[in-house]
Amino acid sequence: METKTQEYDIAIVGGGMVGSTLACSLADSGLKIVVLEATRPAAFSAEQPPDLRVSALSMASRKILESVGAWEKVVAKRYCPFRTMRVWEASGNTEFRADDIGQPELGYIVENRLLQLALLEHLEEQNKIELLCPVATQRILYNENASIIQLEDREIQARLLIGADGANSQVRQAARIGVSSWDYRQHAMVLNVETAYAQQDITWQRFRPSGPQAFLPLSGSYGSLVWYNSPDQVARLKSLSDDALLKELLVTFPSCLGKIKRILQRGSFPLKRQHALDYVKPGIALIGDSAHTINPLAGQGVNIGLLDAAALAEVIVDAHRAGRDFASLSVLKQYEKQRKMDNLLMMTAMDAFYRIFSNHFRPAKILRNLGLGVADKFGPAKHRMIRHAMGLEGNLPRLARGEQLSMPGNTA
């Protein structure tokens, strides 16, 4: 039987948070787009306990989601705004407050599944975008003029192929794009807990030589804990019963954690940095984890992925509006130029922060405590730092500034 071939302008492999955001950003572009996602997220019910996997979204990420029309669907499910962020170690500490920079919030803790669901629901309302979910990608054949995605019952042919399919990206591998990577020789244990107190609006992180400990507030009387430690220690902690692990939490975590009623879920993952040597080739572009994975220390992974999506959408729309080939290397290089160096700087900063704070070296300990103390007292620099982290300053794509993209025929 002859294989059926369907032709598209753009095929986005990966309908997760970043890939779906890109698709939503291009919904009014006039281009024929298909999104392929392997797994359909479970439906949302308000009675469900919070998921284990959550993200801390910046103000820039909120603006992107608002601009593409998906934020209201997030709010209709559940999310938790936070207004204060505290960072400390021994005698040094600093606290960032939304009031200090005239903002209502610093950011938002959102369950990954619910954000993906909100985006997919919005995608399904767009009649110019086809969503194939769930679907299994059998093979990807890269060609700079038109790539082929082989599915079980058909082939997809696309002028531009987008890799939004995660750290082990099939798209990246098909295009033979290499990566630089290394392991941090540390794991992060994540726990969802039910708290004895009401919903919080503060997120905090304490640094210890064995690794940071963090608390993220969730909707209602719930919280997410992150415990960085050696692989052996994380394996030991995961082997404990809930009662034994709860005792370790209460002994090891700072007293501001408060009373924890019970542990709901637990999981762990190794810390790894990975960066694609190239973000683009003719007819192909990588976004999100397909292009980079970053130390989760400051929760910037999803935020820089959404900035990738916004920047690439802007480049595609501008080129298409001008009658240029949106899949050409010269056009796609504009996206790479905008995002690759910014992402590398963020990754390097997180590496430096991690290495400075995760060691027993006494001079480094004195300097970092001093640094936190100075940061807490030096207002202008501190406020500039938090505004940049929130995505309120810097070289931002139009969507991250709350602006709409100009579509073909739109002179706005």
Q: What domains lie within the chain, and their CATH numbers?
A: 5-79+106-181+273-359 (3.50.50.60), 186-265 (3.30.9.10)
Beta bridge partners of 182: 273
pLDDT of residue 314: 98
* Residue among 72, 101, 74, 64 nearest 85 (CA): 101
Q: Is the pLDDT of residue 300 over 90?
A: no
The owner of tokens 């919030």 is: 105
* Residue among 249, 248, 245 nearest 258 (CA): 249
Q: Is the pLDDT of residue 307 over 80?
A: yes
pLDDT of residue 25: 97
Q: What is the mean pLDDT of residues 173-200?
A: 94
For residue range 242-282, list pLDDT tens digits in order. Answer: 999 999 999 999 999 999 999 999 999 998 899 999 999 99
Q: Are 184 and 175 in contact (CB under 8 A)?
A: no
Q: What is the pTM of this model?
A: 0.92
Share of the chain above pLDDT 90, in %: 75
DSSP 174-238: HTT--EEEEEEEEEEEEEEEEESS----EEEEE--TT--EEEEEETTTEEEEEEEE-HHHHHHHH
Q: Are 390 and 55 in contact (CB under 8 A)?
A: no
For residue 392, the 8-state DSSP code is: S
Share of the chain above pLDDT 70, in %: 88
The owner of tokens 């007292």 is: 377
Q: Please tell me the distance from the alpha carbon of residue 160 to that of residue 328, in angstroms, as a whole number.
A: 9
Q: Provide Rg for the chain, Cα atoms.
A: 22
Q: What angle do CA 276, 403, 82 make, to 5 degrees?
A: 75
pLDDT of residue 182: 85
Helix (H) or strand (E) holding 26: none
Helix (H) or strand (E) holding 276: strand 260-276
- Give 299's pLDDT tier (boundaries 50, 70, 90): confident
Q: What is the mean pLDDT of residues 79-99?
A: 86
Q: Is the pLDDT of residue 374 over 60?
A: no
For residue range 184-194, list pLDDT tens digits in order. Answer: 888 999 999 99
Q: What is the mean pLDDT of residues 37-46?
A: 96
Give the lowest-confidence range in 34-48, 272-286, 288-302.
Answer: 288-302
- Give 375's pLDDT tier (boundaries 50, 70, 90): very low
pLDDT of residue 23: 98
For residue range 59-78, list pLDDT tens digits in order. Answer: 999 999 999 999 999 999 99
The owner of tokens 């210890």 is: 208
Return the exposure string of 121-136: e unless at least 16 CB atoms fall within 10 Å of the residue's CB, then b.
ebbeebeebbbbbebe
Dihedral pair phi/psi, residue 187, rounded to 5°: -115, 160
* Residue among 36, 260, 234 nearest 148 (CA): 36
Q: Please tell me the distance from the alpha carbon of residue 61 to that of residue 79, in angstroms, as a whole number.
A: 14
For residue range 384-398, list pLDDT tens digits in order. Answer: 667 766 777 778 999
How much is the mean pLDDT over the chain? 89
- Give 183's pLDDT tier (boundaries 50, 70, 90): confident
* Residue among 160, 113, 128, 186 nearest 355 (CA): 186
Q: What is the mean pLDDT of residues 34-56?
A: 95
Q: Is the pLDDT of residue 361 over 80?
A: no
Q: Is the pLDDT of residue 366 over 80?
A: no
Q: Are 170 and 279 in contact (CB under 8 A)?
A: no
SS3 at position 158: strand
Relative orientation angle of helices 329-357 and 301-321, to the nearest 10 degrees: 170
* Residue among 260, 214, 216, 14 nearest 110 (CA): 216
SS3 at position 348: helix
pLDDT of residue 360: 52
